[in-house]
Amino acid sequence: MIPEFIQEYFVDPIKYGEGYNWINTLTYGIILVIASYAVYTYLRNKITMDRHFYYSVGLFVLVGGSARVVKDMGVSESYILVTPLIFFLIFAITFISLVVLVKWKGEKYYTYLAAEAVVLFCVILGVLAYNAEAYNWKGLLYIVATAVSVTVPVYYISKYMNLQFITRNIEIMGGHMLDASATSFGLAMFGYFEQHMLPGMLIRWFDTPFVMFPLKIVVVGAALSFIEDIEDEGYKNFIRLIILILGAAPGLRDVLRIFFLT
C-alpha cells in the first residue's frame, strides 16, 4: 500500500494530471541535479562533449516533446508518458543509444544518434497525425509567429549590447520563447492551466500568462550568463543541453498539443 504522503504529492498529480506542488517540484529538482551530475561524471571521460554531442543529443527534445502528446491525445494510456516519468524514458533511450553508438561508431556517433532522433520524431508525428481529428493551424501560427517575433529582437538587442552568452545560445532562448508562447496562448485562448508552481504564481500575480516572456528572458539569460564563465567547454555544453531541454521539450509538447487539439 502506497503511503498517503507519496500518494498525495507524487502519485495523484501524475495519475490525475493535477500538475506540480512544492513537494514534488523540489524533489524532482534535486533528482535532476543529482542525475545530471552522475551522467556528466560517467560521460566526461568517455566522450568529447562538443557541439556535435550537444546538437545530436538535443534532437531528442523532439522525441520527448512529441511522445508526451501521444498520452494527451489518448493514443496511449501509459503513465510512463506523463511528466516527469517521460523524462526517465527519454533519458534511458538517449543514454543507451549514445553509449552503444559511441562504442560502435566511435567519433562519428553523432550522425547516427541525430538520425535516430529524427526518425523517432517522424514516426511519432505520423502517429499523432493519423489519430488527429482536426488541426489547429491558427493556434500553431500564433504560437510560432509570436515566439519568432520575440526571439529575433532579443537576438539583435543582445548583439548590439554585446551579450554573447545570449547570441551564441539563441537556440536555447528560442526554445524557451516557444515554451512561453505556447503556455501563454494555451492559457489565454485554449483553456489550459499552468502546472508549474512559480510560473503559476506569477501569472496570477500579474493577471496575464504573457508574463512568461519577460520571466523566461530574465531567467534563461541569467542562467546562460552564469555558465559563460565555466572554462570546461564539455561541462558548459552539458549544462547548455539541460537548459535547452527544460524549455524546448515542454514547449514542443504544448505546441503539438494545441495543434492537434488535444
Domain chopping of the chain, boundaries: 1-43, 48-131, 134-262
User: What distance in Å separates the CA atoms of residue 204 and residue 14, rounded to the nearest whole number?
Assistant: 23
The dihedral over CA atoms of 74, 80, 83, 86, expressed in degrees to the nearest 10, equals -110
User: What distance in Å separates the CA atoms of residue 200 and residue 185, rounded to the nearest whole number?
Assistant: 14
The pLDDT, as a whole number, for residue 19 is 79
Q: Mapping DSSP to helix (H, G, I), strand (E, B) and coil, where does residue 78 land?
A: coil
ω into 84 cis (within 30 of 0) = yes
User: What distance in Å separates the CA atoms of residue 98 and residue 57, rounded to the nearest whole number?
Assistant: 8
Three cell numbers, residue 250: 515542454
Judge contact between 65 and 253, C-beta under 8 A. yes
User: What distance in Å separates the CA atoms of residue 19 and residue 187, rounded to the nearest whole number?
Assistant: 14
The pLDDT, as a whole number, for residue 47 is 93
Q: Mapping DSSP to helix (H, G, I), strand (E, B) and coil, where does residue 116 land?
A: helix
The pLDDT, as a whole number, for residue 10 is 86
User: What distance in Å separates the CA atoms of residue 177 and residue 139, rounded to the nearest whole number?
Assistant: 15
Three cell numbers, residue 169: 545560445
Angle between helix axes 60-72 and 85-105 (nearest 10 degrees) is 150
CA distances from 252 to 8, 42, 99, 119, 205 (A): 29, 29, 26, 17, 26
User: What distance in Å separates the CA atoms of residue 61 and residue 55, rounded to the nearest whole number?
Assistant: 10
On the CB side of 193, CA atoms within 13 Å amount to: 7
The dihedral over CA atoms of 45, 165, 242, 123, expressed in degrees to the nearest 10, equals -110
User: What distance in Å separates the CA atoms of residue 2 and residue 48, rounded to the nearest whole number?
Assistant: 43
The pLDDT, as a whole number, for residue 69 is 96
Q: Give Cα 197 distance to the centre of its chain.
A: 17
The pLDDT, as a whole number, for residue 2 is 62
What region does 208 belong to: left with phi over 0, alpha with psi -120 to 50, or beta?
Answer: beta
pTM value is 0.93
Please report, in tens digits, the pLDDT of each residue of the chain (262 residues total).
568 888 888 888 888 877 788 898 899 999 999 999 999 999 998 899 999 999 999 999 999 999 999 999 999 989 999 988 999 999 999 999 999 999 999 989 999 999 999 999 999 999 999 999 999 999 999 999 999 999 999 999 999 999 999 999 999 999 999 999 999 999 999 888 788 888 888 899 999 999 999 999 999 999 999 999 899 999 999 999 999 999 999 999 999 999 998 7
Quick one: CA dihedral 21, 63, 45, 101, positive or negative? positive
The pLDDT, as a whole number, for residue 252 is 97
User: What distance in Å separates the CA atoms of residue 47 and residue 171, rounded to the nearest whole number?
Assistant: 23
The pLDDT, as a whole number, for residue 136 is 96
CA distances from 122 to 11, 85, 101, 128, 196 (A): 31, 22, 20, 10, 29
The pLDDT, as a whole number, for residue 3 is 81
